[in-house]
Homo-oligomer: A and B are copies of this chain.
Amino acid sequence: MNKRLEVIGISGIPVIKPGDSLGKIIVDAVTKSGLTIEDRDVILVTQVVVSKAEGRVYRLSDFKPSQEALRISAITGKDPRHVEAILQEAVRIVRMRGEVIITETRHGLICANSGVDLSNVGEGMVALLPVDPDRSAENIRREIGTLTGKKVAVIITDSHGRPFRRGAVNIAIGCSGIEPIWDRRGERDLYGRTLRSKQICIADELASAAELVMGQADEGVPVAIIRGYSYRVSEDGARKIVRPAEEDLFR
């Protein structure tokens, strides 16, 4: 028996406005595509549409640069208002070089620019990450459940660079209804040897799989469904993926 799963990009999602119900919009787009949402589907949603729905898109001019922002702007060449937004979203700066600013966000994510993005929001605008992406995922999951009667999992994704390797990959910044890490410690290998350190971050792997069909927001495919993947239901969020500083060897 082959294990088989499908990754399906959902097109036809309209431009999202503050206050929009993403759950309803997703269900409508799926229906219009001639599909139906099924129990155990994993629904993956790009961060930028969540930020838009939650009113996390601001004018750059809303950010008044602090002395610190002006200083960093001079070093990095970034717009000082952009730097101010980045600093407001950060708990600390992790690395800075050239025009790159790596920060730790309030969610514990370590990423470029605190995830504050100038792309896909229009000139002079800036999108901040959702305040609580696990909560965002939970809300969408609840809306989809109410509208369809189906039990699904929801993952909010964002594309992040990483140390050591070129190119960004899509990761899970929020999730609901799925255990994000598959903990296989204690299981045994082919030869009966106990697996030592086998924790697999399936939420990130699902997010990466989804990006293969999303093809970026500018092609208008901000939502994907992964169907056929067997996962463990859990109320743990993607917060659980964040490695605490004291366990981390690279901060």
Contacts and interface: CB of A to CB of B under 8 A. Distances in A.
A6 B168 CA distance: 22
B2 A5 contact: no
A66 interface: no
B243 A120 contact: no
Chain A interface size, as a band, is 35 or more
Contacts of A166: 181, 199, 201, 240-243, 247
Interface in A159-204: 159, 161-171, 180-182, 184, 187-191, 193, 195-202, 204
- Count this chain's copies in the assembly: 2
A250 B95 contact: yes
B216 A167 contact: no
Interface of A: 1-11, 33, 35, 95, 97, 100, 102, 109-110, 112, 118-123, 159, 161-171, 180-182, 184, 187-191, 193, 195-202, 204-206, 208-209, 211-213, 215-218, 220-221, 226, 229, 240-243, 247-251
Listed from nearest, the 9 A-B pairs whose CB atoms lie closest are A167-B201, A209-B209, A163-B250, A208-B208, A3-B9, A205-B208, A95-B249, A3-B213, A167-B181
